[in-house]
Amino acid sequence: MQPHIQSFSCLRLCAAAAVVVAVACSKHSVPNVNAPLRIEPVTLGASEPSLAPQLTVTGDRALVSWLETQGRTSLLKFAERTPSGWSEPRTAASGDDWFTSPADVPSVLRLEDGTLVAQWLQTTDEHLEAYDVRLAFSKDEGRTWSAPTSPHHDGTKTQHGFASLFQTPGGGLGLVWLDGRAVDPDPDKHKDNMSLRAASFDRDGKEIHETAVDERVCDCCPTAIAITADGPIAAFRDRSTDEVRDISVARLIKDQWTPSQTVHADGWQIDACPVNGPAMSARGREVAVAWMTGKDDRGRAFAAFSNDAGATFGAPIRLDDAASQGRVGIALTDDGSAVASWIELANQRGQLQVRRINSSGERGPAQTVAGAGAERTSGYPRLTRRGDELLLAWTQTSDGRSTVRTAVARP
């Protein structure tokens, strides 16, 4: 019997040791949000005036895009992140009939097979402020582009914009956008339902499918998209019948968009669009969403985490310290924490700030990236992650001039 007793004791000791190791590993895995970020500027060859930056990442390849203007002509330019900085700018598209806005911005996305997709807005009726989403594809690193096409075919002279592009599970292009086909320009007819719609394209740029995601959303708040282990998830500002405009998400599951689900019931009731959309990041089944609310006439920025691919979200975490103008960004990191950005308002000044947070509600110190101008052209700062670095892009404004700037942040 003695050998059996010794063996049992050994097993108990091993089990106890395993528990100790597991606890130690669990404690070690808690993210240290107090570690400061090292923020360094990265030179970008954006000419003045430039505005409306956007960042996209596919795998380990990141692109920054922006608008430049030359007289009446608008140019969509982009550059790629390289070991030595940003590449020389390239022009994806240009035109003298574009709709340009610091909030409703164009973008350039690289698909996994190397195809580049450019997205911009083309005016269809200047008097009605109507415009269409336009897409073009390039198979040769942007040297040539396909003829422009639109993902929507309703033929209405209404607003179509605030598009977010993503790679579909099948390897093609997907996008969501705000669609005004159900809006009547005559206010007396009370038909003002802006909808959220989605479309998908195959690898050759041929449209496969278009569908409605949500039939009533906020009129002009930017959308966001992220790819989880379960599939794409879209975030947007929803709109109830009594004008509550809180942030919702919808998930693409087996080629069907789920019903919209509120991230957090802020209860912000406002009879106008605040032009302030969410930001989102995903890693596996982890999702982080950031947003702004102005309930009780107090601007505040929040973030929330999900560990089930966006099916449910935890309690909101306050991002700002005093007050916020919103214009948020967020990026998950490998340790399960996230870095969030927002415009902090203090002493009648705006500042682009970042801080680390984790799902338990811990907040690291806020760090200032740049001053944020009050001009309309200052637009939306951008934040995304590429490998072990965080990329930031924003529009620096001074004396009526605007230039897109970028920086990299590392733990």
Task: Tell me the HSE value of 251 on the side-chain side, using a 13 A CA sphere.
Answer: 19
Q: Which helix (H) or strand (E) holds 138?
A: strand 130-138
Summarize pLDDT for 240-272 with one digit per residue, the tens: 999 999 999 999 999 999 999 999 999 999 999
Instruction: Report if residue 12 sits inside a domain.
Output: no
Q: Pick from 383, 402, 382, 381: which is nearest to 68 by CA?
A: 402
CATH of the domain at 149: 2.120.10.10
Furthest-apart CA atoms within the chain: distance in Å: 94
pLDDT at residue 372, as a whole number: 86
pLDDT at residue 188, as a whole number: 61
Instruction: Report if residue 114 sits inside a domain.
Output: yes
Contact 234, 249 (CB under 8 A): yes
Summarize pLDDT for 341-378 with one digit per residue, the tens: 999 998 878 999 999 999 999 999 999 999 987 666 78
Q: Residue 276 carries which DSSP code?
A: -
- Phi, psi angle pair for 284, to nearest 5°: 65, -125
**What would the two tokens of residue 245 be?**
């405009």
Contact 117, 108 (CB under 8 A): yes
pLDDT at residue 25, as a whole number: 41
Instruction: Report if residue 21 sits inside a domain.
Output: no
> 208: exposed, middle or buried (C-beta count within 10 Å: 0-12, 13-18, 19+)?
middle
Low-confidence residues in the chain, pLDDT < 70: 1-30, 185-190, 374-376
Instruction: Report if residue 44 sits inside a domain.
Output: yes
> 57: exposed, middle or buried (C-beta count within 10 Å: 0-12, 13-18, 19+)?
middle
Q: What is the distance, to the nearest Å, from the Cα of residue 67 to the centroid of all Cα atoms in its chain?
A: 18
**Which residues on adjacent β-strands are paired with residue 372?**
350
CA-CA-CA-CA torsion for 31, 33, 38, 43, nearest 10 degrees? 90
Query: Residue 244 sits in which domain range?
Result: 37-406
Summarize pLDDT for 179-190 with one digit per residue, the tens: 999 987 666 665
Instruction: Report if residue 10 sits inside a domain.
Output: no
Instruction: Report if residue 91 sits inside a domain.
Output: yes
Quote the number of domains for the chain: 1
Q: Residue 269 carries which DSSP code?
A: B
**What would the two tokens of residue 127 be?**
């008097």
Record the pTM.
0.91
Instruction: Report if residue 26 sits inside a domain.
Output: no
Instruction: Report if residue 65 sits inside a domain.
Output: yes
Residue 358 to residue 339: CA distance in whole angstroms:
9
